[in-house]
Amino acid sequence: MEKKNIDWGSLGFAYMPTDKRYVSNYKDGKWDDGALIDDPVVHINESAGVLQYAQTVFEGLKAYTTEDGHIVAFRPDMNAERLEASALRLQIPPFPKDRFMEAVKEVVAANEAYVPPYGSGASLYLRPFIFGSDPVLGVAPAKEYQFRILCTPVGPYFKGGAKPITIRVCDFDRAAPHGTGHIKAGLNYAMSLYAITDAHNQGYDENMYLDSATRTKVEETGGANFLFVTKDNKVVTPKSDTILPSITRRSLVYVAKEYLGLEVEEREVLFEEVKDFAECGLCGTAAVISPVGKIVDHGKEICMPSGMSEMGPVLKKLYETLTGIQQGKIKAPEGWIQVIK
Ligand SMILES: *Cc1c(COP(=O)(O)O)cnc(C)c1O
């Protein structure tokens, strides 16, 4: 297979159209057979449910080349299950899990020329999503939907090593109790755009959201879960009904316990405790772990003991173990690596 002439190492995290995308349409109460298509443009009515009432949910996962030359996806079954949960919450008909898995395989295989080679640090990012496609005007769920997976090659998240970032405690809320914070929906991002733009304007990389009911507990950032490490090497991660259940976080918790023999606490984390942790990181598919060096709470700075020059030792070990598993260098737990080719 002839790869595309792309400078893999200099890719960022941006959309680039590839040759094929997978599309299946829902009409008259059922999903059609689905197909790979060429057209990157979606044609929908001006009053489509997604345009008027934001009826859409999405996923994000990666396919990449392993050391032994296979193309694999990391835990796509988890994305299928989470997409189903997200869809149900927004009255969207779920896309069947077995078909999701098949669609991932098909679309990656069809875009093999865009799967970055091993060692480049780059990967093929997959964005599955479902949206209401037929006209609505009165507030109601759409009757027709489209499921689509687009692929785009993305670069190594950190070029030249992961530098710790500075975040701020945010005065805006991300999710309400009993709201939609636990599902992967575009609507959660739309309302975070003002807050993240403001954070960037003030010189911060990300927002730390607290629970909106009491504003005392750590939730997550706009698009990544928190991991903390205590001074005696325990891994602590916030547990809350209003955070998005990150697949990276759940995988890292498993790796911490089963591969590194670390103690892990998944529990409510008070903001007050943060100053006592040794390390802090953000986890998600894009970067796996981004180290946090400094947290600013309305002018009061919390400087993590791990510092501003590199990732702390425990998070680094976690990062290396999980990325080693993903690249096929460390034996993966049963079912984590889906071989596509
Ligand atoms: C996608 C997402 C994450 C990270 O989840 P992963 O499955 O690890 O990629 C965390 N928080 C939010 C709000 C997200 O949308």
Instruction: From 171, 162, 155, 168, select the one nearest 200 (Cα to Cα).
Output: 168
Domain boundaries, the chain: 8-154, 165-326
Whether 270 shows a pLDDT value over 70: the answer reads: yes
- Catalytic position from the list 62, 184, 217, 317: 184
Confidence of residue 203 (pLDDT cuts 50, 70, 90): very high
Q: Which residues line ligand 1 (CB under 6 A)?
A: 60, 184, 220, 223-225, 244, 246-249, 284-285
Residue nearest to atom 1 of ligand 1 (CA): 223
Separation of CA 208 and ligand 1 centre (Å): 14
Q: What is the mean pLDDT of residues 51-73?
A: 96
Whether pLDDT at 9 is above 80: yes
C-alpha distances out from residue 24 to 34, 58, 87, 100, Å:
4, 15, 15, 10
pTM above 0.75, yes or no: yes
Q: Tell me the mean pLDDT in the region 145-162.
A: 88
Q: What is the mean pLDDT of residues 20-44?
A: 98
User: For 278-318, how does the pLDDT look when each residue is reduced to its tens digit (9 = 90+)?
Assistant: 999 999 999 999 999 999 999 999 999 999 999 999 999 99
- Of the pLDDT bands very low, low, confident and very high (cuts 50, 70, 90), residue 160 is low
In order of 57, 126, 254, 269, the CA distances from 235 in angstroms are 30, 29, 11, 12
Residue 5 has phi, psi (to 5 degrees) of: -85, 80
Q: Are strands 300-303 and 145-154 parallel, antiparallel or unpaired?
A: unpaired
8-154: CATH topology is D-amino Acid Aminotransferase; Chain A, domain 1 (3.30.470)
The ligand 1 atom at the shortest distance from the C-alpha of residue 79 is 7
- Are the CB atoms for 304 and 282 separated by under 8 Å? no
pLDDT, residue 11, reads 94
165-326 belongs to which homologous superfamily?
A: D-amino Acid Aminotransferase, subunit A, domain 2 (3.20.10.10)
Q: Which residues, listed in sequence order, are joined to residue 301 by a DSSP beta bridge?
A: 296
Mean pLDDT within 222-240: 97
Q: How high is the pLDDT of residue 156?
A: 79
List, for residues 101-136, the tens digit of each pLDDT value: 999 999 999 999 999 999 998 999 999 999 999 999
* Residue 157 pLDDT level (bands cut at 50, 70, 90): confident
% pLDDT > 90, the chain: 96
Residue 184 a catalytic site member = yes
